[in-house]
Structure 1
């Protein structure tokens, strides 16, 4: 699916990288809220610095995968999404500040650097 995607951000290895990035962000020690960092640039490599981009990639992959693999990946992502909602704060101003504010993982404030 990645090889045939045609999407600049969904390339070979992007699913694995996005899933690892999402997990790593959520495994940060402590109980303080986490704030995603903004990516320095939007190239394929740097864009994953923003965990919300990693989640965007996972969303795109979930749309394109066949039923069986989609269900398996969706189970993993759903568990991570629950942790993400618990470790980040809602942003009441995301409609005016955030690109793609309609997706729930983008409705969280970014703090420049990760951590609480």
Structure 2
């Protein structure tokens, strides 16, 4: 085993961070948006806890991946209230609040992510 490990050739350059969600390896808001927009699978969120980001961002992303952000729909499930979005009267879910609501689309455009 030691011979095998000793035979591994390491590159001469330093380590580099690679963003695997687009072809060029660099982070972009667009690639993160498209990744978050897709329905989230069970292992989809595991990277959150390993990421070098503030804890409050980890918690928020985890809540988003679990559809646990306190939208009107989630609050209605906990106690009956009006589940409609205050901006457009559609049913407010995490997906709606962050991606399909007209106000969310304006916000994404303001940060340079036209839908």
Shorter chain as denominator, the TM-score bin is under 0.3
Which of structures 1 and 2 has the bigger CA Rg?
2
Per the normalisation by structure 2, the TM-score is 0.28
